[in-house]
């Protein structure tokens, strides 16, 4: 084989990894091995008299303890009329509740991140009576340290949000927010703030081309500092540097609702919405692979296998602890599910 032909093959293979068109890859990504089993029952014991509500927000504490943070929607799908219930919860690795806070501050907790100092960031993607559509920073003990965004998304300033879906704090303290949950209005973009909360810039607009989003639903960052954006209604992940420069598009992880990248650059992606009409050929579940080269190596199937089911039947948020256990935050089933190695 000539050097020219070999080069062309390498280039085509690289492009396939970068874009991984669904028609070429869905079979492999639906049939990757599943090395996990679900822990029986609802993981995470709440206080007496309280039941789990919907949740899409889960993150490890990041201190090596094995503790897991969750933001849960007050026993229902929002915290309206339940302002006495704290939605932000910390569990140890056995599922024992250690602390809770945030009562009366959040309408509908959706995204979560734990920064390098252990502070907990929550996006509020609901609005009610002039509250919500904000991002809150809490200390590990529940002290409110910062709030970004106008209450209820009340103005059109670039530091006001229409449906903030997720938040990510970079190692240098810069804050990234994915805006446009469920495609509300025409505000689909990524906003960047300084560690002090000053607006720096935003990029993206509503659409399906490069640098365009429809329901940017999840954020993650790899060891190279690349920002992964789960562009859910466009059935893809778009990858950027921290200045908003476009780097790549990946479709091999399905229709992304939740993203998490661990310290070994293992990428966990929840597909909670693929159906025969929204993303034909793709099954829902948690795909696990490499954030470095994009290869999918494992797949935890959604418990409901009906491809025409339009509801969220399994996990929507995802995280992994230092031991490689996987946590799925579930909206319709109203629970946090833990997966362990077989």
- pLDDT level of residue 24 (50, 70, 90 thresholds): very low
Q: In the chain, what is the greatest distance between 2 CA atoms, to the nearest angstrom?
A: 72
Instruction: Say how many C-beta atoms besides its own lie within 10 A of residue 82's C-beta.
Output: 15
Domains and CATH numbers, the chain: 20-341 (2.120.10.30)
Give residue 75's Cα distance to chain centre: 21
**What is the Cα–Cα distance from 251 to 25, expressed in whole angstroms?**
9
> What's the pLDDT score for residue 48?
93
> What's the pLDDT score for residue 306?
65
Region 162-181: mean pLDDT is 96
pLDDT-wise least confident of 57-61, 244-248, 330-334: 330-334
**What is the Cα–Cα distance from 82 to 342, expressed in whole angstroms?**
39
Backbone angles phi, psi at 94, to 5 degrees: -90, -5
- What is the torsional sign of CA 16, 327, 313, 121? negative
DSSP sequence for 161-208: -SSEEEEEE-TTS-EEEEE-GGG-TT--EEEEE-TTS-EEEEE-EESS
- pTM here? 0.92
> What's the pLDDT score for residue 12?
35
Bridge partner list, 86:
none
Mean pLDDT of the chain: 90
Cβ contact 115:121 at 8 Å: yes
**What is the Cα–Cα distance from 283 to 275, expressed in whole angstroms?**
7
Angle at 318 between CA 316 and CA 320, to 5 degrees: 165
For 286-318, write each residue's pLDDT tens digit.
999 999 999 999 999 997 666 666 666 689 999
**What is the Cα–Cα distance from 155 to 227, expressed in whole angstroms?**
27
The tokens describing 233, both together, are: 């209604």
Backbone angles phi, psi at 234, to 5 degrees: -95, 5
> What's the pLDDT score for residue 184?
60
């Amino acid at each position: 084989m000539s050097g020219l032909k070999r080069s062309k093959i390498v280039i085509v293979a690289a492009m396939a990894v970068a874009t991984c068109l669904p028609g070429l890859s869905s079979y492999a990504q639906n049939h990757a091995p599943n090395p996990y089993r679900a822990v029986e029952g609802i993981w995470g014991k709440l206080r007496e008299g309280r039941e789990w509500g919907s949740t899409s927000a889960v993150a490890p504490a990041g201190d090596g303890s094995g503790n897991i943070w969750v933001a849960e929607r007050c026993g229902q799908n929002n915290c309206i009329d339940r302002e006495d219930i704290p939605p932000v919860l910390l569990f140890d690795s056995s599922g024992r509740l250690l602390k809770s806070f945030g009562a009366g501050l959040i309408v509908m907790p959706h995204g979560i991140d734990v920064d390098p100092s252990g502070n907990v960031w929550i996006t509020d993607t609901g609005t009610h009576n002039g509250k919500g559509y904000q991002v809150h920073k809490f200390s590990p003990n529940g002290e409110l340290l910062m709030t970004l965004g106008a209450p209820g998304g009340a103005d059109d300033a670039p530091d006001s949000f229409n449906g903030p879906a997720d938040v990510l704090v970079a190692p240098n303290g810069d804050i990234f927010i994915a805006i446009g949950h469920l495609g509300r209005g025409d505000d689909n973009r990524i906003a960047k703030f300084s560690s002090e909360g000053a607006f720096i810039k935003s990029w993206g607009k509503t659409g399906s081309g490069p640098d365009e989003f429809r329901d940017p639903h999840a954020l993650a960052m790899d060891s190279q500092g690349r920002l992964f954006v789960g562009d859910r209604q466009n059935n893809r992940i778009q990858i950027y540097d921290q200045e908003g420069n476009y780097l790549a598009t990946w479709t091999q992880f399905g229709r992304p609702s939740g993203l998490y990248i661990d310290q070994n650059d293992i990428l966990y992606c929840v597909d909670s919405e693929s159906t025969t009409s929204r993303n034909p050929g793709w099954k829902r579940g948690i795909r696990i692979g490499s954030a470095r080269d994009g290869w999918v190596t494992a797949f935890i199937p959604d418990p409901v296998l009906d491809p025409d089911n339009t509801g969220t039947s399994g996990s929507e948020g995802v995280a992994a602890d230092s031991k490689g256990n996987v946590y799925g935050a579930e909206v319709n089933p109203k629970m946090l599910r833990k997966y362990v190695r077989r």
